[in-house]
Amino acid sequence: MRRVDHDAAPRTARRQGEIEQAAAERGESGHGRLSPRRTARTSPAMSSSPEIFDRALRRLRRDRAARMPAEDFVRAHIAAELIERLELVKRAFTRALDLGSSDDSIAAPLAARGIEVTRADAGPVNAARGGGQPWDEDCMPLAEASFDLVVWAGGMDQVNDLPGALIQIRRVLRPDGLFIAGLVGAGSLPRLRAAMHAADMAGPGGAASPRLHPQIDVRAMGDLLQRAGFALPVADGESLDVRYRSLAGLVADIRAAGAANALIQRSRRALTRLQAGAAFAAFQDEAEPDGRVRERLELIYCLGWAPDESQPKPARRGSAVRSLADELKGRG
């Protein structure tokens, strides 16, 4: 388990042993050419998966986050972990796809290894900032067998058709190509969930409203990879504790990540003053002796390989939860 102390404007938690404190005061607060070969693409209208997220709103939120001065410290943390794990792989990659590419934390280290990187993000502003493509991850116009590496740091839990996105990723990988990713998983943000429940109970009729989207646990992630056709799927988890002075700091971090509520079934009504007060009070009720509230993020890391005859036979179904580091060393 790692711990991060956060004020209103976090900076990236550096991965040097245990993370004790990684916050600072805030004040007031290339892409590669695409092959003309047959593409693997799923239209949102054609997908059988129900639409959970408002696609236009998700793009807008990611683009607004791109204009904010605060850093998406969760993506930076996940990206640093993924790059460190990739260093365990001794094989050479030549062409990579960086999904959810809101900064250089994945693209720059890969480019430094001589890898040609195609960047993509659902937000057009986010994508353009890094010279990438404005694609929703579950409907990308990419040729099959275009990449030997796909990296997705954050954002997997905010995609309408995640099974479809994983199938596309497996198809765009060359045989024995690697997919590696990290995301915020189930069990995250319990203090925020409790605070939002208190806000709902203080509202008219005391009815609950969808405010946080459903998330995936480690075992389900391994199963999704297997169902998408990946060979040797592996998933593991990490708990990250973040300490806040108030609910406002946590909300600011969520907005900086472009991860505010984009559910189609969300309430369009803003919290009343009474509801906001109930939420802040419920959050602060969990404060530790120094006045800060400890919030928990459950991070999931996963990988899978595009099938190839050279690979060992897969383990029995349901055994995909193990250490990514061990798997990467074994495939190096």
Residues 1/239, Cβ–Cβ less than 8 Å: yes
Domain assignments of the chain as residue spans, ordered by start: 2-331
Across 109-113, average pLDDT: 96
| Res 71: pLDDT | 80
Least confidently predicted of 128-142, 182-196, 232-246: 128-142
**Secondary structure class of 83 (helix, strand, coil):** helix
Would you list the DSSP string of 251-299? HHHHHHTT-S--BTT---SPPPHHHHHHHHHHHHTT--TTS-EEEEEEE
CA distance 254 to 277: 19
> Which CATH architecture fits 2-331?
3-Layer(aba) Sandwich (3.40)
Across 207-216, average pLDDT: 88
Per-residue pLDDT band at 268 (split at 50, 70, 90): confident
- Per the model's pLDDT, the better-predicted residue between 26 and 225 turns out to be 225
Spatial neighbors of 1 by CB under 8 A, at least 6 apart, are 238, 239, 240, 241
Spatial neighbors of 327 by CB under 8 A, at least 6 apart, are 232, 234, 303
In terms of Cα–Cα distance, which of 60, 134, 67, 77 is closest to 100? 134
Q: State pTM to two decimals.
A: 0.80
CA distance 153 to 155: 7
Least confidently predicted of 246-250, 266-270, 306-310, 321-325: 321-325
Per-residue pLDDT band at 242 (split at 50, 70, 90): very high
Whether the per-residue pLDDT at 18 is higher than 60: the answer is no
Across 96-125, average pLDDT: 94
For residue 40, give the H/E element and its range: strand 39-40
